[in-house]
């Protein structure tokens, strides 16, 4: 079953939106199979977002991501990587489709509530950044 990595960013945690956002994922029948709260150091945020090194927003992004605690999680489900990208919406909420998480909750193109992996390859690397195999718990979803 496909997996992807999601981070609830500081603006999500600090505004009391953890439950709302996780509910959106669960309502779509994705299973949360790993979950942890942590406070990234600047160095960890720089490492996580290394693909953006050199971009004009890189320093703001890494400072922001280490400004407060975040919640990282692994979601599992069919086509979960692409479907979660659709569900969260465009990076800048001004460009996000109505009904998406970022359209509804994002404060700006930087403080946009949630990170989600953008390819299966990056999902693998990002999952390994936060979780080892013993911290990931596959289970069957029950609907009754
Ligand atoms: P994502 O995959 O949709 O999260 O977007 P990217 O991978 O392109 O960028 C990573 C994160 O950097 C985004 O989610 C934003 O928090 C931030 N970011 C991206 N582009 C911009 C920008 O143009 N301005 C600002 N201020 N932040 C940005
Ligand atoms: Mg990205």
- Whether 27 is in a domain gets the answer yes
Asked if 63 and 42 count as a contact pair (C-beta separation under 8 A), the reply is yes
Active site residue 115: yes
The reply to whether 142 falls in a domain is no
Ligand 1 pocket, CB under 6 A: 52, 57, 60-61, 91, 109-110, 112, 115, 118
The model's pLDDT over 2-23, given as tens digits with 9 standing for 90+, comes to: 999 999 999 999 999 999 999 9
Domain carrying residue 120: 2-135
Query: For residue 129, how far is its CA from the centre of ligand 2 (angstroms)?
Result: 15
pLDDT score recorded for residue 136: 98
Judge whether 80 and 31 are in contact, CB under 8 Å. Answer: no
pLDDT of residue 143: 87
Report CA Rg, the chain: 14
What total number of domains does the chain contain? 1
Task: Please state the pTM of the whole predicted model.
Answer: 0.98
CATH number, domain containing residue 73 = 3.30.70.141
Q: Say how many Å lie between the CA of residue 78 and the centre of ligand 1.
A: 26
Q: What is the pLDDT along the chain (144 residues), one digit of tens a residue?
A: 999 999 999 999 999 999 999 999 999 999 999 999 999 999 999 999 999 999 999 999 999 999 999 999 999 999 999 999 999 999 999 999 999 999 999 999 999 999 999 999 999 999 999 999 999 999 999 988
Q: Is residue 30 part of a domain?
A: yes
Give yes or no for a contact between 93 and 106, defined as CB atoms under 8 angstroms apart. yes
Burial 8-39 (b: 16+ CB within 10 A, else e): bbbbbbeeebeeebbebbeeeebbebbbeeee
* Residue 144 located in a structural domain: no
Quick one: pLDDT at residue 87?
A: 98
Residue 140 placed within a domain? no
Which protein residues have their CB within 5 A of the ion that is ligand 2?
Answer: 118
Residue 143 maps to a domain = no
**Atom number, ligand 1, closest to the C-alpha of residue 91:** 3
Q: Name the closest-CA residue to atom 5, ligand 1.
A: 91
């Amino acid at each position: 079953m496909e997996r992807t990595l999601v981070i609830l960013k500081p603006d999500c945690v600090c505004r009391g939106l953890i439950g709302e956002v996780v509910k959106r994922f669960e309502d779509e029948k994705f299973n949360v199979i790993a979950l942890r709260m942590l406070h990234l150091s600047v160095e960890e945020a720089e490492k996580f977002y290394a693909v953006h090194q050199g971009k004009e927003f890189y320093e703001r992004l890494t400072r922001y991501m280490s400004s407060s605690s975040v919640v990282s999680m692994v979601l599992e489900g069919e086509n979960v990587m692409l479907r979660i990208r659709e569900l969260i919406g465009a990076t800048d909420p001004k460009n996000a489709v109505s009904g998406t998480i970022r359209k509804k909750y994002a404060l700006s193109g930087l403080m946009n509530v949630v990170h989600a992996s953008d390819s299966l390859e990056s999902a693998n690397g990002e999952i390994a950044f936060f979780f080892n195999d013993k911290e990931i718990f596959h289970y069957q979803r029950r609907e009754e």
